[in-house]
Structure 1
Amino acid sequence: MPDTETPSRGAGLLDRLSRWLDRDHLPDPAAVRSLYEAALTDSAANRLARQWADRYLAADAEERRCLLAGLVHAGIGLEAESDHSSRLFRRLYAESDRLVLMVELRADMLRWRNQVAGLSALEQVLAVQLSNWFDVGMLELRHINWDSPASLLEKLIRYEAVHAIRSWEDMRRRVAADRRCYAFFHPRMNDVPLIFVEVALTEDMAADVQALIDPGRPLADLGKARWAIFYSISNTQRGLRGISFGNFLLKRVIEELLSELPKLKSFATLSPMPGFADWLGKRGGDEIQEYLSDKAERQAAAQDPGAGAAWVDRLRGGVAEPGPESTRRTGLRLAAHYLQQLRGADPLDPVARFHLGNGARIERVNWAADRSAKGVEQSCGLMVNYLYEPDQLDENRARLAAGKPRTSRSVQWL
């Protein structure tokens, strides 16, 4: 027997829907509950879903928060192990025919999950759905250059999350002949770049991002380029935060680069450590003393609960004015130790989590590599190279799963 509603029940749902559409307060939970419970073939619930989606996309921030609270309230009492919540999102996606709605829904859920009780559980269900809808095999890779549409270049400027693009001159240098920039798109969001990947083609493994992104830097000779340095990877959609695309993204870019420049031999990143200063500032002397280079400093730090915060200040100062070699060496050792810290099975640092999770190894830590205000604030000016060796990715992931992130000998010897 077809699973459909009787006309009277359908009319009742639409009557309740029309009442809350005309008012400013929360929608009727009895009406919204049908979005969870009714079969996906239920015509009345599906019409309601289209109305809800339209209102949500047109709503301001406060109204969206209220609508999300209404969703949570309507789902109270449903069995946790059921698929009611995933049915809700499948219905909204199918009836709105807008993947962008689902991305915006999750972005708003992440924004308000600590303010609206029960929203966090709903957000986790949507994250699983988005992982399915954004299957990596569906993403399209596009090369961006100076001849790309101005609207796309403007989006790159707006969404660049690692190293700000400060002018059109800066923008032009980022897509010059010795640079490559790529964007990934989903066919259902064809005009919205999801991820930007910026690459520098160099003779050696880069250790200084200021030199790398300097708009006045002369063009490198592509004939001598042997390294591809990934120096910026920016996710443009907050609603896709934490949705893993695995090593697919960089693998696609590496394949694209090799098809154009077969002389490239090595692939690495020049990456920030956004959590380093905060982590170090919370460490007591007993936690870091073994990494201090000077014996007297180790003894002094032993009983000092504020030793980590003092070292943050010291390392930041060392970026502006070179200090003793012992300060530089201690900074490198502390950063290397931080990069190997795990929370559960995952690296503590979010950028390390991405690259080590994709099978890279910690290759080198670089002193005073990012002297921008942001770089000094977040990581005391230090940066790290993660090395991608295609034949070692699986082994490196296995070592990470065993709680032992892969590092180079130069890092081990710090």
Structure 2
Amino acid sequence: MRKLKQTWKLSVAVALTAVWLLLWGIPIHAEAATGGNQIAADELKNISRLSFQLRDAYQTPYTVYIFAKDEKMSVLTEEDYWTNNKTGDKSYTGTYRAAVVKNGEKFGTVQSLKLPFGGVTLPQTWHYTVKSSGKPMPDLLILSEWGTSNFNLVYPYVIRSGTLEPLQFINPQGKKLDASYPASRGDGVRSLSGSRLQFKFYNNSVFKYAVNTFKLNLSKLELQVSDSRYVNQGSWPNAGTGDRAYLENLKAAAIGGYLPANPQIKLGMKFNTLKNRLKTAKFTENGEWGAFYGYKTYAVGFNEYMHELGPSSYVMVFNIFADQQNLAVGNVKYWLGKPKEQYWNEAEGSYGMIYTMGKHSLAFHYDEEDGFIQLITIY
């Protein structure tokens, strides 16, 4: 009888323990250790379709596993030109989730975030990592989806405090942009010093490559637009300044009334003084309102014509030749705001827009309404 009572008590204790575990949502197998959202690292290696090595801002290494418990496999019956996969390659679909394992730990934490894809075709190259330039910049995980024939739409993620976090794109004023951003396939994202990232893609509406720079704010998980530019070739440009700095330089020159290429040359400067400060002009000509001394990237205009130039003549305008700058009309408005005046010059067959800068004006001239700037004037 005593043995029966002991056996009964033991059975009750086991049953109560099982009920307690179920009530608190703690699995009894190795799928979770604490909190109901951990999986053994060895098991993650076996069930995951993709894995990526990432470092956080402190350069601590982690592994991100991508898996789906409802995964199904099929075989491609035709080529997939987006993923560059061929007939016969294995394709997997399912509800994919991510798990993060800190290097050296035995369990990984399943992430609650929703991933922006439902399938993987192997071998694959369109989901990848971008290595950081070092502290305090973390590595990025880039998940991609089809955008156009020219680029993918990419979703960037970082590890912060052991958690996989999505980054939000925002404009210079702090307004949220789309969750994804265009990037060329293969080499469309790179990391720069100063916690900056660049995204590149071919814009076939203007037949140039758009290269946009973002500054990472890790505490806010934001990528804020910090610069923009267009380039003619697909290779990355140097990490120097783009449209924003170029326009800020023009703005400062207009406010100060000086030539951007040589701040010693100023509006109102006498003709004789100018000749002593500049080299011999490459060309001279008369314009509509007066004479011009032309150089490689700019021209200096006067208040009188060539045959009238003398000690009382003075500098009236600067012309900056901007053809090689690839400065888009839209990017001028993006960084300088709405112009004071925008017009169509029927006599010249071109467009213009004018900004007031203190006592002076900064004007942009272009042939196509949404094209590129050919000439910039300060007067």
How high is the TM-score relative to the length of structure 1?
0.27
Q: 1 or 2 for the larger relative contact order (CA 8 Å, sep ≥6)?
A: 1
